[in-house]
Amino acid sequence: MNTFFSSNLQYLRRALPNKMSQEKFSEEINIKKPTLASYESGRAEPKYADLIKLANYYGVNIGDLLTKDLSKEPSQPIENTANNFRVLATTVNTQNENNIEFVPLKAIAGYVAGFGDLEFIEKLPVFQVPFLPKDKKYRVFPIQGDSMLPLKEGSLVFAEYVEDWWNIKNGTVCIVVTKDEGIVLKRIYNYLQEKNLVVLKSNNERYAPYAVLGDDIKEMWKFAGYFSGQFPNE
């Protein structure tokens, strides 16, 4: 059993600005209360998917969560904000190289709820593309609708995982995953530092721009290319 994991969980939860109870926190992070209690008391080893959720929520490194006494680290406010670096549930091949996971249309709804669940991600189809950089993480998403013409519905977008949202340049095309909007491809106009929001804009002028709070964003993936069975001008 890890020496620091349970005490770190207790410390981090109690350091939250709103003094969240164990029961309320278990609902917030979607881990069952008995499971969370067993983690905090040191009675159970954490599942990898739960480790990802916890590290992601607190904005800490998994290694630090497991091996450091965070109560003795330099004091900083503990909060789940848009500028925290994130932990990604991902898969690798037998050579320990990142797979490219494909999110088919039938998995879109499940992805919004299960993007941080390693068991869900492991069930997605995977492949390799030799000409893409090995040091970056890619995923493929299908495009629905006509908001990003000339990309047509059914196109498959290759996207690079974005860890630091604050430095996304205005006009960058990204896949954005949110609880309410699901998975969308839009141009990003970044106001996270000033207002904790981004404005999402379509290429198709029929669709009005709209704002999304940073706290509502689950993932961002920068457009890296696409595949389509139709020629763009058809």
pLDDT 10s per residue in the chain (234 long)?
A: 557 899 999 989 888 877 788 888 888 888 889 999 999 998 888 887 788 888 878 888 887 888 888 888 755 544 444 444 456 788 888 887 889 999 999 999 899 888 878 889 999 999 999 889 888 999 999 999 999 999 999 999 999 999 889 889 999 999 999 988 899 999 999 998 888 899 999 999 999 999 999 888 999 999 999 999 888 775
- CA 211, CA 206: separation in Å to the nearest integer? 16
Q: Is 201 inside any structural domain?
A: yes
In terms of domains, do 68 and 134 share one?
A: no
In terms of domains, do 201 and 162 share one?
A: yes
- CA 231, CA 207: separation in Å to the nearest integer? 23
In terms of domains, do 153 and 48 share one?
A: no
Q: What's the number of domains the chain is made of?
A: 2
Element spanning 175, H or E: strand 172-178
In terms of domains, do 18 and 110 share one?
A: no
Residue 121 in contact with residue 114, Cβ under 8 Å?
Answer: yes
Question: Could you give the count of Cα atoms lying within 13 Å of 137 in the half-sphere of its Cβ?
Answer: 15
Q: Is 82 inside any structural domain?
A: no
48: containing domain:
5-72
Q: Is 84 inside any structural domain?
A: no
CA 16 to chain centre: 21
Q: Is 91 inside any structural domain?
A: no
CA 103 to chain centre: 14
